[in-house]
Chain A
Amino acid sequence: MTEQPKVSAQRLTKKFGDLLVLNDVSFDIKKGEFVCLVGPTGCGKTTFLNLLVKLTEPTSGNVLIDGVPADPQKHNMSFVFQEPSTFPWLTVEDNIKFNLEIKKIEKQEIQKRTEHILEMIGLTEQRNAYPGQLSVSAEQRIVIGRSFAMYPDLLLMDEPYGQMDIKLRYYLEDAVLKLWRETESTIIFITHNIEEAVYLSQRCLIMTPKPTTIKASIENPLPYPRNVSAPEFIKLREQITDMIKWW
């Protein structure tokens, strides 16, 4: 018997009015897998994640988590949106604690994790600041910290590092890999950056322009930590880049 996939899209179709966005898309994502979704702008990557967490309903087809429809109150998952979604009325620290408190985790454990996360996103000194006082990239770091804090089984990240400078991006790429290793979570990571996709993921799902289908699913067997200038890395990166040139 094969193991139940963590995420399973079954003949998923989504239309907005007459606009056909996802056209009969099916794929599975295994437990503990790190998958990058790569596709042209407007092809429906964000829409797919929204369907996955039930922020919108599919026109037809199904998408399941652990074999059942998503329920954020039960599934331990978190979602880093494309735009910074901090709560401006909470301090950096309270933003990070938000769902730990909602999930009624023990106080000591909350504090321990918060310290660790603040350290990781480099905002320990700004813990009492409000998001409005920080830069957009710092805001996005808060959101990333908030989603890491609950050690999610399923982590959805929608171009999380788009706003960041290179150095911060490299640092946070390693941070998400570390989290993935430590918590054995399943991660779906959307990016336009092929190098980032090859650096992070075990598999890239390449999407076509609208109406969207999966053009290819490319396994990436390179061992971690990956070296972006190794010939095999460059070869894989070129292969994927070639595949999407016609966008």
Chain B
Amino acid sequence: MSKVKKIDVYYILSILSVLLLLAVWWAASAVNESLASPGQTVERFFRLIENPIMGKPVSVHILASMRRILVAFFAASVAGVGLGVCFGIFPTFRRMFWPVFSILRPVPPLAWIPIVILWFGVIGDTSKYIIIFIGIIMAIVINTYASISETDPLFLKAAKTLGANRWQTLVHVTLPNSIPAIFAGMKTGLSTGWMSVVAAEMIAAKEGIGFLINMSMKTTPDTALDFVGIVLVALCSSLVSFVLSVIERKLCPWLELDVK
């Protein structure tokens, strides 16, 4: 009973904080003429549906960004977990490549844009996929590696004395134990990923939410269009994160427990 009440309170608090954000936005736009208000943003959104920019409906932009993040995310997850596992279980591999990885890791993904565009061109999605991929993979590698190398020795001892070989230990012990940390890495990676999506689209794209945002600066400043882009990114990223947490909950039922 009291538990139900608690959940209700949290629910209300979340809604309140969103309302608060809207209120701050609205107040800021009231003070500053050049800033579009929430209302103007909604209105701009409908205008965008009626008058698509360069003949492309909004859905095309949304789907373009979603496709880019999802493809890059999928690739980065597979590669990131693979790399993290290799760092975690092959000492030689770690000694050889960890320094390289450590040097490259702090480089902002956007810094690669010129080189990637030079190599893969502006046209087509390859260069965008690569930038976004770089944005997402780092956190996944780090988290996978960290959680694998910090596996509770008791689990490893148990697996060993139960007769598991290295491969069985990895598949049945180390990896399942690391799933929550891997998901945490994926979530961190996604936020960098969205940053890279928007940036890459602002610089080199004919469609996508980043492209919309870029258009808001093109002629006369159109802050309402910028806000449309911001809200779309926020909604899309929430949707992706939500789906990811549903998957996580499915994969990690043991985390859904009441505390002992």
Report A's interface with B, CB cutoff 8 A: 53, 55, 72-73, 77-79, 81, 83, 85, 87-90, 98-99, 102-103, 130, 132-133, 135, 146
Q: How far is it, in angstroms, between the C-alpha of A88 and the C-alpha of B257 when the chains are bound?
A: 11
Report B's interface with A, CB cutoff 8 A: 154-155, 157-158, 160-165, 168, 172-173, 176-177, 179, 252-254, 257-258, 260
Does A53 lie within 8 Å of B161, measured CB to CB?
Answer: yes
Does A78 lie within 8 Å of B176, measured CB to CB?
Answer: no
Selected contact of A133 from candidates B158, B163, B176, B260, CB within 8 Å: B260
Does B257 lie within 8 Å of A85, measured CB to CB?
Answer: no
Pull 22 A–B residue pairs with CB atoms less than 8 Å apart, ordered by A.
Answer: A55-B157, A55-B160, A55-B161, A72-B161, A79-B161, A81-B154, A81-B157, A83-B154, A85-B157, A85-B158, A87-B173, A88-B254, A90-B176, A98-B162, A99-B163, A99-B164, A103-B163, A130-B253, A132-B254, A132-B257, A132-B260, A146-B162
**Chain B contacts for A77, CB-based, 8 A:** 161
The B interface is mostly helix, strand or loop, or mixed, namely helix
- Beyond A72-B163, A89-B252, whether A133 also contacts B157 by CB under 8 A is no
When C-beta atoms are compared, the residue in chain A nearest to B168 turns out to be A102
Q: Write the nearest CB–CB distance from B152 to chain A, whole angstroms.
A: 9
Q: Write the nearest CB–CB distance from A190 to chain B, whole angstroms.
A: 15
Q: How far is it, in angstroms, between the C-alpha of A98 and the C-alpha of B155 when the chains are bound?
A: 12
When C-beta atoms are compared, the residue in chain B nearest to A54 turns out to be B160
The A interface is mostly helix, strand or loop, or mixed, namely loop
* Number of CB contacts from chain A to chain B under 8 A: 63
Q: Write the nearest CB–CB distance from B139 to chain A, whole angstroms.
A: 22
Does A87 lie within 8 Å of B158, measured CB to CB?
Answer: yes
Q: Which of A55, A89, A98 has most B Cβ within 10 Å? A: A89
Q: How far is it, in angstroms, between the C-alpha of A88 and the C-alpha of B158 when the chains are bound?
A: 12
Q: Write the nearest CB–CB distance from A37 to chain B, whole angstroms.
A: 17
When C-beta atoms are compared, the residue in chain B nearest to A86 turns out to be B158
Does B162 lie within 8 Å of A89, measured CB to CB?
Answer: no
Q: Write the nearest CB–CB distance from A83 to chain B, whole angstroms.
A: 6
**Chain B contacts for A89, CB-based, 8 A:** 176-177, 179, 252, 254
Q: How far is it, in angstroms, between the C-alpha of A89 and the C-alpha of B252 when the chains are bound?
A: 7
**Chain A contacts for B177, CB-based, 8 A:** 87-89
Q: How far is it, in angstroms, between the C-alpha of A78 and the C-alpha of B163 when the chains are bound?
A: 8
**Chain B contacts for A83, CB-based, 8 A:** 154
Q: Write the nearest CB–CB distance from B10 to chain A, whole angstroms.
A: 22
**Chain A contacts for B162, CB-based, 8 A:** 72, 78-79, 98-99, 102, 146
Extra contacts, 14 of them, besides A78-B161, A133-B257 (Cβ < 8 A), are A53-B161, A72-B160, A73-B164, A79-B161, A81-B158, A85-B155, A89-B176, A89-B177, A89-B179, A98-B172, A99-B164, A102-B164, A102-B172, A132-B257
Q: How far is it, in angstroms, between the C-alpha of A98 and the C-alpha of B169 when the chains are bound?
A: 11
**Chain B contacts for A85, CB-based, 8 A:** 154-155, 157-158
Selected contact of A130 from candidates B158, B179, B254, CB within 8 Å: B254
When C-beta atoms are compared, the residue in chain A nearest to B252 turns out to be A89
**Chain B contacts for A88, CB-based, 8 A:** 177, 254
Q: How far is it, in angstroms, between the C-alpha of A241 and the C-alpha of B190 when the chains are bound?
A: 63
Q: Write the nearest CB–CB distance from B170 to chain A, whole angstroms.
A: 13
**Chain B contacts for A72, CB-based, 8 A:** 160-163
